[in-house]
Amino acid sequence: MLVRELRPQPHSWSQYRANSTPISLPFRALEWTLQWSAYFLSRWALLEVLEYLSVLSVLFAVIFYFTESGDRQKQKHYQAWQVINTAQGKGGSGGRIEALQELNLDRVPLVGVNAAGAFLQGIQLRGANLFRADLEASDLRDSNLEAADLEYANLRSANFRQANLSRAKLEGADFTDADLVNADLHGADLRGTTLENADLRNVDLAGVQWANIKNIATANIHGIRNAPEGFAAWAIQHHAVSVAADE
């Protein structure tokens, strides 16, 4: 709310000059002129109208900002998808890390996204919906995919070293030839998962759901941690191996 204060009428020049010294006279004259200017302007209705208009312009700007927020968000999402789709089939990040993270933060489903062969090291996609995503041969080292939905995703030859896949939904996912060394899979759902020839060394398997794993042949389970009772024996029985070296 604007509050306008009417200024009192300044003294006449003769009264104002009476207390001035010769040295201060020019400065006193300037001060007296400014006082009279302020006095007249305080009574000018146009300035009051302009002040109200400035307040209204700010109000309208705020209203337009919020009414157009949905369109701005749609535009932001469109640009993010454009980055992801344009980079399909190319190596490197190509801006996909930021684009995928931004979409996930806005809770946009990433169902069926194609980021095969992408460099996504350290990406933060906690709780992301990556159902049937194609991440074949992508670099996801040190990534955070906690509680992500990767059901039926193509994860063949992907690098998940030291990745956080705890509580992830991995039912039906294909980890053939994937590198999961030192990954955290505690609480993950591995039902129907293909782990053929996957490197599972030092993986944390605490509390995983592992019934009906589809294929674990030639997977390296050396040093697995917190595995459920009977898992290691079952894996070896189904042609998994336990080898310390990379070979």
77: Cα separation from own chain's centroid? 12
User: Which pair of structure tokens corresponds to residue 188?
Assistant: 């993950």
Class of 71-247 per CATH? mainly beta
Tell me which DSSP letter residue 231 carries: H
- Mean pLDDT value across the chain: 86
Average pLDDT over residues 35-51: 64
- pLDDT score of 32 more than 80: no
Report d(CA 47, CA 52) in Å as an integer. 9
- Cβ-proximal residues to 77 (8 Å cutoff; 6+ apart), any chain: 103, 106, 108
Residue ranges per structural domain of the chain: 13-67, 71-247
Q: Dump pLDDT digits (tens) for 84-132.
A: 999 888 878 889 999 999 999 999 999 999 999 999 999 999 999 999 9
Report d(CA 196, CA 174) in Å as an integer. 8
Its pTM stands at 0.72
- pLDDT score of 191 more than 90: yes
Q: Give the pLDDT band of residue 198 (cuts 50, 70, 90).
A: very high
